[in-house]
Chains A and B, each alone.
Chain A
Amino acid sequence: MSETSLPKWKLPRRGLVKGNFADWLFRNTTRLFAAALLVLILLLFGILTEGSLSSIRAFGLRFVTSSTWDPVRLIFGALPPLYGTLLSSLIALVLAVPVGLGTAVFLAELCPPWLKSPVSFLVELLAALPSVVYGLWGIFVLVPALRPVETWLGQHFGFIPLFQGAPYGIGLLAAGLILAVMILPIITSVSREVLLAVPHSQKEAAYALGATHWEALRGPILRYARAGLLGAIILGLGRALGETMAVTMVIGNSPQISASLFSPASTLASVIANEFLEATDAMHISALAEIALLLFIITIIINSAARLLVWSVTRGGRVGVRE
């Protein structure tokens, strides 16, 4: 979000260039392309709903409460992938939030200027790497490395249900770890932006009163930025929920609900990626469309909430105290 906003064009409305047809055409053509985006979102929603109608009719609410996912008998309940999606995203958030916020604070408040640009670039590069490359790395490097760790955890903390079960390597834990790395950049970069949007006067006032960096952050900066930071975390959650390739490659794709972090599971996205190709029955396709619809609605809600929170700091904030 850029800081400077252009004033509205005032000239063409009246006076010299009034009635300039080319200008009118230009303005409205560009407006049409912008409007196409809104149409696209409506279309997305409409088509996915239409595609999942027969599944919605057949299963109703049982679709999200039943844990039977059986493409052979054409019974579809999406509870296992829902569970897998939520749990893997939760693991990712627990791991990525402290690191992401810490990095953002470092970049926005503490970092010496010469270090700022290279570190932000590297974090952004982490976001730009293709998901399938993360998956490849997950299969060949992370999963083998996880097996001894899981064995160890099972031996020493096996009394906790989370750490029971066979240490396959692939499973929820691997998916959560990969997701943590993948959502780290968005949490970091949005939080950094939110922190940078805090008016300098607020920080300067704190420092002038003799506050340390930590005290300035905990007091005025956090008070100003907390909604936006929450938004950054929720944006990360939104990314984690919809992430497909890397998760599909390391989660094991088994439609089951298990308390153990080591067990193979599935997510909404991984079910779509895995089964759309083999789906031949109309009901199966419809059920997969309903999963896509579910994912669409969840991410739309989450992203809207997050964007509003972030905007409340970076844009709406300017209404209050100016720098």
Chain B
Amino acid sequence: MNQPPAAKPQTWHYRKRRAANSLFWLFASLATIIALIPLGLLLSYVVARGLPGLNPAFFTRLPAPVGEAGGGMLNAIIGTLVLVGLASLVGLPFGIIGGIYLAEFGNNRFGSSVRFAADVLNGVPSIVIGSFIYTIVVLQTHQFSALAGGLALGMIMIPTVMRTTEELVRLVPLSQREASLSLGASQSRTILQIVLLSAKAGVITGALLAIARIAGEAAPLLVTSPGSMLFSTSLNQPIASLPVQIYLYANAPYDEWNRQAWAAALVLVMMVTIFSLAARYATRGKFRIVR
């Protein structure tokens, strides 16, 4: 660094620097390749083992009794849809409206602390949030329930949705706001009808991405709605879900169940991949999906 530029590029010192730099390149490229190996392994196994189990029965049948062949995951698929719907009812309004606040009015100390809290809450393990919901809902009602599961998932969604909404609303150019205001529109109308219109595609994909994420969450459901083999859409009964079913089936000593666990894993992975691709496309890579 503090050496003068090499007058003769062939000197020993110059070669040493070149060698160090090559080593650095080698290390960084190798690290990148190593980082991608697990993804390749994971995806190839999920596809190879999941595809055979992905037949019409998987989507249309209820689980078969132990020892019988066949059966499917209809109850878990419906259950996941119910849970995701409940979670969206809780998570999306809080996330999106809070995110609008952060983007439009949040350049103050209160905004910073909410932003900070969202990032911190995002790092709180989902099982802790599950335990929280267990304590306030399940213990009070003496009942595991779909409602408790949906609440837990919704709470997990809030910080993610809030931060992505904020980022996407911020991407809308200031000139659009100024144009609207200069035409006499009020601030609330400007935000609701102009800014949100521009940010709509992004906010929707951000929400979809958060939904895809929580659809794969098993930990909070394990302590709030720990699965069932029955078909149920009742909100105050425990409801089955794909991730919990994967967990139960993976630990079971039946080949048929293991096969269905892989098939369910493939369904979740496909969903997450498609939503991630869509988010990347809709926002042209302008915001991160890792938090």
Contacts and interface: CB of A to CB of B under 8 A. Distances in A.
Q: Are A and B physically bound partners?
A: yes
A110 B158 CA distance: 36
Contacts of A161: none
Interface string A130-154: 1111111101110000000000000
B28 A110 contact: yes
A273 B223 contact: yes
Given A33-B98, A128-B289, A273-B223, A141 B218 contact: no
A37 interface: yes
Contacts of B102: 34
Interface stretch (B51-59, B61-69, B70-78, B261-269): B261-269
B250 A139 contact: yes
A111 B39 CA distance: 19
A27 B97 CA distance: 10
A177 to B, nearest CB: 9
B159 interface: yes
B103 to A, nearest CB: 7
B216 A129 contact: yes
A283 B197 CA distance: 53
9 contacts: A6-B170, A7-B107, A9-B105, A12-B186, A25-B188, A132-B268, A136-B261, A242-B124, A302-B123
Given A48-B131, A269-B125, A130 B218 contact: yes
Interface string B96-112: 01101111111110110
A98 interface: yes
A101 interface: yes
Contact of B226 (A5, A210, A277, A288): A277
B187 interface: yes
Given A34-B101, A37-B98, A133-B246, 6 more contacts: A12-B187, A34-B114, A110-B28, A127-B290, A193-B288, A299-B123
Interface of A: 2, 4-9, 11-12, 17, 20, 22-23, 25-27, 29-31, 33-38, 40-41, 43-44, 47-48, 50-51, 98-103, 105-107, 109-111, 117, 119-137, 139-141, 181, 184-186, 188-190, 193, 206, 209-215, 217-219, 235, 238-239, 241-245, 249, 269, 272-273, 276-277, 285, 288-289, 292, 295-296, 299-300, 302-304, 306-307
A12 B181 CA distance: 10
| Residue with the greatest number of chain B CB neighbours at <10 A, chosen from A33, A273, A303 | A33
Given A131-B219, A303-B120, A102 B290 contact: no
Contacts of A26: 187-188, 191-192
Given A12-B187, A131-B216, A244-B125, A273 B31 contact: no
Nearest to A108: B28
B222 interface: yes
Interface in B149-180: 155, 158-159, 162, 167, 170-171, 174
Contacts, number: 337
A303 B121 CA distance: 9
Closest 7 CB pairs of A and B: A102-B31, A242-B125, A130-B216, A303-B123, A26-B188, A30-B101, A292-B131
A105 B131 contact: no
